[in-house]
Amino acid sequence: MKEEIAQIQSDALTAIGAASGEQELDEARIAFLGKKGRLTAASSGMKDLSKEEKPVVGQLLNATRGAITEALEGKRNALQDEADRAALEGLDLTLPGRPLHPGSLHPLTQLGDRAIGILRRLGFALAEGPEIETEFHCFDALNTPPEHPARNEKDTFYFDSGKLLRTHTSTVQIRTMETQPPPVRVIAPGSCYRRDEVDKTHLPVFNQLEGLYVDTDVQVGDLKGALEFFYRAMFGEETEVRFRPHFFPFTEPSFEIDARLRLEGHDPEWIEVAGCGMVDPAVFEEICKSRGDELYHPDKVTGYAFGMGLDRLAMIKWGIKDIRLLIENDARFLTQFA
């Protein structure tokens, strides 16, 4: 029996050594160690042995099983190494890796987030309204009569339904006051649309940020203070801000705001950055009619509103000379803001 076991071991090691793949190796394992394998069959001969022989042969059987198992393991590792080496053939691990190009936020997004962050510190909450608007919310409620040039077909995108693409975010002033009682202090960033010829400073789609603050005693000084704070926080402490008298149908008095910033390599010049003013009593009257109550009666509340062009702010902040760069999505331009 000892010779038989020795023979099994030697046959097994030969078969394992000759196996050229996982499958052949597994077949060898089954042939020798499996339930019906040769070593298992040999073990069943134990019962016919004498008391003295049993432990000796038992030990031999164990040692043989151990040797075959070890050989199987060793061969499996060798086959795996071979497969790994073959997979790496022709691969030069010393070559530099391919660079990853992580994306970054669009400059307009960065600027919008920053503007919102500053205004939140002043107590403004976010508000929003639809981009497809009624004439009422875009014009009538904002004291802009039908004959006003902004309502001309040549200046505004109308739908057959009579609705239009909002020409400014001032629509959100109306939407907010219709649905919330005073006091309100909101900002509304969003897209606006006008039939403008495309050039370095005009696109038919652009972005504004509207602000509205209504309470019992809001004054021009509050407006100036808030916006001066805003532009200094945005562009730097040294930024100068000036208010020029202007006209908007929905504010009285109205102003345009210019800012003068110190940018390296540029002579400081005044740049128009926003329109603003005190909410016109005619707007409050329209809101009272629309709400069916007197909460916004012009004898009870006052307020200020402002609207700034976000594209404009981005152009100023980074010295971008052509607004079209903001929508062309050219990676050479965008990666500068990563």
Number of chain residues interacting with ligand PHE (CB under 6 A): 10
Does 251 interact with ligand PHE (rule: CB under 6 A)?
Answer: yes
Q: How many residues does the chain have?
A: 338
Q: In which residue are the tokens 């009593």 written?
A: 281
Q: Name the segment binding ligand PHE (CB under 6 A); options: 33-41, 76-84, 221-229, 269-277.
A: 269-277
Measured N-to-C along each axis, helices 107-121 and 310-318 cross at an angle, to the nearest 10 degrees, of 110
276 binds ligand PHE (CB under 6 A): yes
Residue appearing with tokens 């061969």 = 75
Answer for which of 107, 182, 275, 303 binds ligand PHE (CB under 6 A) is: 275
Q: Which stretch binds ligand PHE (CB under 6 A): 22-30, 35-43, 73-81, 300-308?
A: 300-308
Closer Cβ to ligand PHE, 197 or 264, answer by number = 197
Q: Is 305 in the site for ligand PHE (CB under 6 A)?
A: yes
Q: Would you give the DSSP letter of residue 199?
A: B
307 in contact with ligand PHE (CB under 6 A): yes
Q: Which residues of 118-153 are buried (b: 16+ CB within 10 A; e: fewer)?
A: bbeebebeebebeeebbbebbbbbbbbeeeeeebee
User: What is the C-alpha radius of gyration for the chain, rounded to an integer number of angstroms?
Assistant: 41
Is 137 one of the binding residues for ligand PHE (CB under 6 A)? no
Q: Is residue 206 within the footprint of ligand PHE (CB under 6 A)?
A: no
Report the residue number, 129 or 275, with the smaller CB distance to ligand PHE. Answer: 275
Three-class SS state of 206: strand
Binding site for ligand PHE (CB under 6 A): 168, 170, 248, 251, 275-277, 305-307
